[in-house]
Amino acid sequence: MVCVAIAYGVFSLSTADSAEPNYDESRVPAYTLPDLLVTQDARPVKSATMWRATRRPELLDLFATQVYGRRMTKPAAARYEVTETSALEGTARRKQVNVDFVAGDKTIPGLTITMYVPAGRRAVPAFVGLHLFDTSAKEPKPAMPIEAILQRGYAIATLNASDFCPDDKDRFREGVLAHDYPGRNGPPGPEEPGAIATWAWGLSRAMDYFETDADIDANRVAVIGHSRMGKTALWAGAEDERFAIVISNESGCGGAALSRRQFGETVRAINDRFPHWFCGNFRQYNDKEDTLPVDQHMLIALIAPRPVYVASAEEDRWADPRGEFLAAFHASPVYHLLGTDGLPADEMPPIDNPVHGTIAYHIRAGEHDLARYDWEQYLHFADRQWKQEK
């Protein structure tokens, strides 16, 4: 099965080699989610200490070895070249940060961070993600509400995935992976990082930079992503606890949606179309989602007790909005264990009626997109979490 054009506007469904996606709730198979609060050796997790010391490391390892691949090592050192100009009629500063990595006597080409910071402000909170705006333009596109973000006192930063890991099944190794896995060809090996893990690694390298930049409050950085980059944001936030808020916008299969529902995009569909996104071991769960040792509610729980926002769109059935809601709901027991409120809803809310706890969720009208409505909710959420509400 391959991606359908109605959801992503990129690929068409081929009836020659693909089954029709399931969009019928009555055809969702019966499933039992793996228990968040029972260890692999069947011990109940009854305390925050046990979650942190035992269960959380278990789940991180399972996601790394069975879904995304093991994270590459952090470079020994990085070199930053920063260029700054005035932007948006003087209301912002545009900074471009070229990052190279240093390994012994070698310099490894890294990535570029492009960011807008409110003029006259220092130590501001920030949003960071991949492909949030067009970095080739001197000014952001009107559809991206950068001015509204800046007016609320936030910086906004983006990375281009192609700088360090091309989104191409034949070329994804041409970036930084070539240095950790020299001479390798073809799709990722059993536990090798795919593109999503590599992009998440790049977001952590951006976080390394923020810790050196007086313009950014590195304790208040939200990682955000849409679609495949929403999957990336969730995995980055699970692995790197420096991200204070994690936001998934319509991330679907391999992101916020429960795999066991087999609704819309499935494990087979995503592995067939994007064999470079996940580690090799993930392919063994094609059409066998019920044998996965994890499901995506566990990914969201790995972010606890930090705030996380999951969002869906009504017409984006490919990403399984109900599956995204249910994953957020079933992550709540860990948030409760750690002393927060989790998701304050046990039923999926109506369209355009967000529910906000430490876990937040909304489903809006419309198609697969990171829309202005979504950004408005994320700004309100960040305001409340960081006491920015005016």
- Environment class of 83 (CB within 10 Å of its CB; exposed 0-12, middle 13-18, buried 19+): exposed
Interatomic CA distance for residues 174 and 350, integer angstroms? 44
- Environment class of 53 (CB within 10 Å of its CB; exposed 0-12, middle 13-18, buried 19+): exposed
Give the structural domain span for 322: 5-385
Per-residue pLDDT at 150: 96
Q: Please indicate, yes or no, if residue 181 is contained in any of the structural domains.
A: yes
DSSP symbols for 236-294? HHHH-TT-SEEEEES--TTTTS-GGG--SS-HHHHHHH-TTSS-GGGGGGTT-GGG-S-
Q: Please indicate, yes or no, if residue 150 is contained in any of the structural domains.
A: yes
Q: Please indicate, yes or no, if residue 290 is contained in any of the structural domains.
A: yes
Per-residue pLDDT at 292: 98
Per-residue pLDDT at 42: 97
Q: Is 12 a known active-site residue? A: no
Per-residue pLDDT at 137: 64
Q: Which two tokens stand for residue 370?
A: 């990171």
Interatomic CA distance for residues 8 and 227, integer angstroms? 9
Q: Please indicate, yes or no, if residue 316 is contained in any of the structural domains.
A: yes
Out of 226, 227, 248, 251, the active site residue is: 227
Q: Please indicate, yes or no, if residue 186 is contained in any of the structural domains.
A: yes
Amino acid identity for residue 41 in this structure? D
Out of 131, 356, 362, 368, the active site residue is: 368
* Paired sense of beta strands 77-87 and 92-103, if any: antiparallel
What does the CA dihedral 244, 198, 227, 256 come to, rounded to 10 degrees? -60
Q: Please indicate, yes or no, if residue 75 is contained in any of the structural domains.
A: yes
Region for residue 208 given its phi and psi (left: phi exceeds 0; alpha: psi -120 to 50; beta: otherwise)? alpha
Q: Model's pTM, two decimal places?
A: 0.93
Per-residue pLDDT at 11: 31
Region for residue 133 given its phi and psi (left: phi exceeds 0; alpha: psi -120 to 50; beta: otherwise)? beta
Half-sphere exposure of 227 toward its Cβ, with a 13 Å CA cutoff? 16
Q: Hey, is 375 helix, strand or coil?
A: helix
pLDDT in tens, 212-227: 999 999 999 999 999 9
What sign does the CA torsion over 137, 249, 188, 271 have?
A: negative
Per-residue pLDDT at 139: 62
Q: Is 368 a known active-site residue? A: yes
Per-residue pLDDT at 226: 97
Q: Which two tokens stand for residue 8?
A: 């992503």
Per-residue pLDDT at 387: 80
pLDDT in tens, 282-333: 999 999 999 999 999 999 999 999 999 999 999 999 999 999 999 999 999 9
Q: Please indicate, yes or no, if residue 20 is contained in any of the structural domains.
A: yes
Residue 281 belongs to domain with CATH number: 3.40.50.1820
Cβ(120)–Cβ(147) below 8 Å: no
In the beta sheet, which residues pair with residue 359? 308
The percentage of the chain sitting over the pLDDT mark of 70, rounded to a whole number, equals 93
What strand order describes the sheet that includes 216-226?
A: 77-87, 92-103, 106-118, 155-159, 124-130, 216-226, 245-249, 308-313, 359-364, 355-356
Residue with tokens 């089954």: 19
Q: Which residues contact 13 (CB under 8 A, 6 or more apart)?
A: 1, 2, 3, 4, 5, 20, 21
Q: Please indicate, yes or no, if residue 390 is contained in any of the structural domains.
A: no
pLDDT digit string (tens) for the chain, length 390 residues: 233 322 323 333 333 345 799 999 999 999 999 999 999 999 999 999 999 999 999 999 999 999 999 999 898 899 999 999 999 999 999 999 999 998 877 888 789 999 999 999 999 999 999 999 988 766 665 557 999 999 999 999 999 999 999 999 999 999 999 988 988 999 999 999 999 999 999 999 999 999 999 999 999 999 999 999 999 999 999 999 999 999 999 999 999 999 999 999 999 999 999 999 999 999 999 999 999 999 999 999 999 999 999 999 999 999 999 999 999 999 999 999 999 999 999 999 999 999 999 999 999 999 999 999 999 999 999 999 998 544
Number of structural domains found in the chain: 1
Q: Which residues contact 222 (CB under 8 A, 6 or more apart)?
A: 125, 126, 127, 128, 243, 244, 245, 246, 247, 378, 382
